[in-house]
Amino acid sequence: MAHEVRGVVAREVGAPVSLETVLVPDPGPEEVLVRVQACGVCHTDLHYREGGINNEFPFLLGHEAAGTVEAVGAGVSNVAAGDYVVLAWRAPCGTCRSCRRGRPWYCFDSRNAAQPMTLADGTRLAPALGIGAFAELTLVAAGQAVKIDRRARPEAAGLIGCGIMAGFGAAVNTGEVTRGDSVAVIGCGGVGNAAIAGAVIAGARLVIGVDVDPRKLEWARHFGASHTINSRETDPVQAIRDLTDGFGADLVVEAVGRPETYRQAFDARDLAGRLVQVGVPTPEMMIELPLIELFGRGGSLKSSWYGDCLPSRDFPLLIDLYLQGKLDLDGFVTETIGIGEVEEAFHKMERGEVLRSVVVLTSG
């Protein structure tokens, strides 16, 4: 039996999203049906709507969600009906060449639900990042549902499913921040601020937030940046060197995804320093670097996919940090909105007015 619910759908490139009737099947083998309680509005949802991800319209948007397991299909053992979960867009398969080598956080064949969710006329929907959670119910692969502590409120908890995990993991998992490190984060939106919070928790002695927007620098200070640099007014490379005895930072996290900011990150590292790129570029962007410096500076240049996270390991950890008051997930929730207000939330996001608008699903 298919369940009839409301969902936020992007029908064509650039067109405003619309609230549509969505048919969600009962879970088949290895699938889980989740009643969504809250879902954050992320830049990636907007990228889908703009055709920046792929052309598989129509999309069912939404992917930073917390909710309750409504039903599970055959063979599901990691969660049961009634469990409180956060949805992940990485569900390691266990059998790809990366999983088999013991690196499931890179899994090259992540699982999604096998059955499609559709519009009322049967048109197949492509769920954003294999989730599709701006809907009252959604269908995911069992491994995408990660059980967490019920005391974490859904508006805050759902956000660890994407942007916060990506930023936190970029600093802590990919960047391997350790006690005494100096860390600079370029781009202080949701992902960048999560990287700042992660660096602080991991013991960095200096955390520098860089952005062109004073409001974002204020958020950076809130999440623990010891220093902030407005790169519209000041050369960030020089300013980072000035704050690190002239040397540069041990780790620079690039959370913008542009050639200019990548170059800043490259130049702002100390010798043997690390650069982690977590900002997502577009296909036409190119970068040119002096090969002698690439060699001569040593260290590492890495990219971070989803914070190199293992959701089943890292989601409960982030929720524990939240419940202990060490990770301010509530601070990322700028506002809560209804399911019909996603289009307006995109505009607020584009204007830089919010870290996250979070859709709260109210109807049962």
144 binds Zn ion (CB under 5 A): no
Task: Give the nearest distance from C-beta 298 to Zn ion in angstroms.
Answer: 32
Task: Give the nearest distance from C-beta 307 to Zn ion in angstroms.
Answer: 11
Q: Which is nearer to Zn ion, 12 or 109 (CB)?
A: 109
Hey, what are 123's tokens?
């048109």
Hey, what are 276's tokens?
């982690």
Task: Establish whether 3 is a catalytic residue.
Answer: no
Task: Establish whether 344 is a catalytic residue.
Answer: no
Among the residues of the chain, which ranges form H helices?
A: 43-49, 97-100, 154-157, 163-169, 190-201, 214-222, 236-243, 259-267, 291-296, 311-323, 342-350
CB count, 10 Å around CB of 349? 21
From the candidates 64, 136, 155, 254, give the one annotated as an active-site residue. Answer: 64
C-alpha distances out from residue 182 to 117, 126, 245, Å:
46, 41, 11
Task: Establish whether 64 is a catalytic residue.
Answer: yes
Task: Establish whether 39 is a catalytic residue.
Answer: no
Cross-strand bridge partners of residue 300 = 274
Task: Give the nearest distance from C-beta 91 to Zn ion in angstroms.
Answer: 9
What backbone phi and psi angles, to 5 degrees, belong to 147? -70, 135
Q: Tell me, residue by residue from 148 to 167, as one string, x for binding to Zn ion by CB under 5 A and - for no binding.
A: --------------xx----
Task: Establish whether 356 is a catalytic residue.
Answer: yes
Task: Give the nearest distance from C-beta 64 to Zn ion in angstroms.
Answer: 6
Q: How many residues bind Zn ion (CB under 5 A)?
A: 10
CB count, 10 Å around CB of 297? 18
Among the residues of 244-282, which ranges form H helices?
A: 259-267
96 binds Zn ion (CB under 5 A): yes
Helix (H) or strand (E) holding 255: none
Cβ atoms of 140 and 32 within 8 Å: the answer is yes
Among 37, 44, 174, 228, binds Zn ion (CB under 5 A): 44
What backbone phi and psi angles, to 5 degrees, belong to 190? -60, -45
Cross-strand bridge partners of residue 72 = 32
Task: Establish whether 258 is a catalytic residue.
Answer: no
Cα torsion 277, 281, 286, 288 to 10°: value is -20
Task: Establish whether 111 is a catalytic residue.
Answer: yes
Among 93, 201, 337, 360, binds Zn ion (CB under 5 A): 93
From the candidates 44, 174, 244, 261, give the one annotated as an active-site residue. Answer: 44
Task: Establish whether 63 is a catalytic residue.
Answer: yes
Task: Establish whether 93 is a catalytic residue.
Answer: yes
**How far from chain centre, in Å, is Cα 260?**
22
Task: Establish whether 162 is a catalytic residue.
Answer: yes
85 binds Zn ion (CB under 5 A): no
Among 39, 61, 99, 133, binds Zn ion (CB under 5 A): 99
Q: Which is nearer to Zn ion, 268 or 333 (CB)?
A: 333
Q: Which is nearer to Zn ion, 105 or 223 (CB)?
A: 105
Among 34, 39, 41, 42, binds Zn ion (CB under 5 A): 42
Classify each residue of 270-279 as buried b or exposed e, where b means 16 or more C-beta atoms within 10 Å of its C-beta.
beebbbbbbb
Cβ atoms of 23 and 4 within 8 Å: the answer is yes
From the candidates 35, 47, 68, 96, give the one annotated as an active-site residue. Answer: 96
Q: Which is nearer to Zn ion, 92 or 167 (CB)?
A: 92
Residue type, 143: G
360 binds Zn ion (CB under 5 A): no
Catalytic residues: 42-44, 63-64, 93, 96, 99, 107, 111, 162, 356
Please give the residue ranges that form the binding site for Zn ion (CB under 5 A): 42, 44, 92-93, 96, 99, 107, 109, 162-163
